[in-house]
A and B are shown apart, each in its own frame.
Chain A
């Protein structure tokens, strides 16, 4: 089945130690998104890739970076995780993204714990 896959499902890191979260998709979608969801809160968009074009949200901290080496994979890098970065990180994809009349499909998420 076509899907959005996130690895690992759970990630524990130490304060200040860089960490990378992975997302892959078999949908061949053009757009990939990263959301941060803190406990009991709505998902918050961090950034998205339209093909190879990176689009950062204005309030996304510089500590968060992303890479998309090809259509299928997208990575979220947290350069120096703080305790406040503990959250669920959700990856999503959509087919094209230019007109807005699209559905975003979400992966199962990676829960990040910062010690």
Chain B
């Protein structure tokens, strides 16, 4: 049973860059896509981006200009960077596993609350 454990800074100032990572335990990065989803009171669940073990990526067009997703197969983890954050980026961010590109998520991390405030 794969487990995802995520970490990263929870309090940012406007214009800073959000940086989160997600470690994958009990399974390999191969054969799946690895996803970031966020949840804010105003917008519900929002899919951000996904990546597979060879670095193929897909992004939400609404966030693409500010998002970088990356993967480190040696460390069995993947990461999210979101630049130029504003209060609208305040949300709980989840990492998750998808069986394929553009698919449903069958395993999720515990979530990280990221608050953007001056």
Q: Do A and B come from one complex?
A: no
Binding site for B on A (CB under 8 A): none
